[in-house]
Chains A and B, each alone.
Chain A
Amino acid sequence: MNIDTKYFGQVTIKEKDLFSFPKGLPGFSSEKKFALLNIPDNPAFLILQSTTDVNVAFVMISPHQVDQNYEVKLDVATRELLEIESIEDVHLLGIITLKDTFSESTINLQAPIILNHKQRLGKQYITNHKAYSTRTPIASVREQGA
Chain B
Amino acid sequence: MMLVLTRKLNEVIQIGEDIEIKIVGIEGDQIKLGITAPKEIDVHRKEIYLEIQKENQEAINNGLDLLHILKSQEKNT
Question: Could you list which residues of chain A lie within 8 angstroms of chain B, going by C-beta atoms?
Answer: 6-7, 23, 25-28, 39, 41-42, 45, 55-59, 75-77, 80-81, 95-98, 102, 108, 110-111, 124, 126, 134-135
Contacts and interface: CB of A to CB of B under 8 A. Distances in A.
A111 B54 CA distance: 12
A58 B66 CA distance: 11
B39 A26 contact: no
A134 B51 contact: yes
A57 B66 CA distance: 11
A49 to B, nearest CB: 10
Contacts of B10: none
Contacts, number: 77
Categorize the interface residue count of chain B.
Answer: 20 to 34
Interface in B21-75: 39-40, 42, 44, 48-49, 51-60, 62, 64, 66-67, 69-74
A77 B66 contact: no
Interface of B: 39-40, 42, 44, 48-49, 51-60, 62, 64, 66-67, 69-74, 76
A79 B24 CA distance: 28
A34 B18 CA distance: 32
Contacts of B48: 110, 126
A97 B59 contact: yes
Contacts of B72: 102
Contact of A27 (B39, B53, B62, B74): B53
Given A41-B74, A76-B39, A80-B39, A98 B62 contact: yes
Contact of B44 (A59, A98, A102, A126): A126
Nearest to A55: B60
B52 A97 contact: no
Contacts of B60: 55-58
A129 B64 CA distance: 33
Contact of B64 (A7, A25, A75, A108): A7
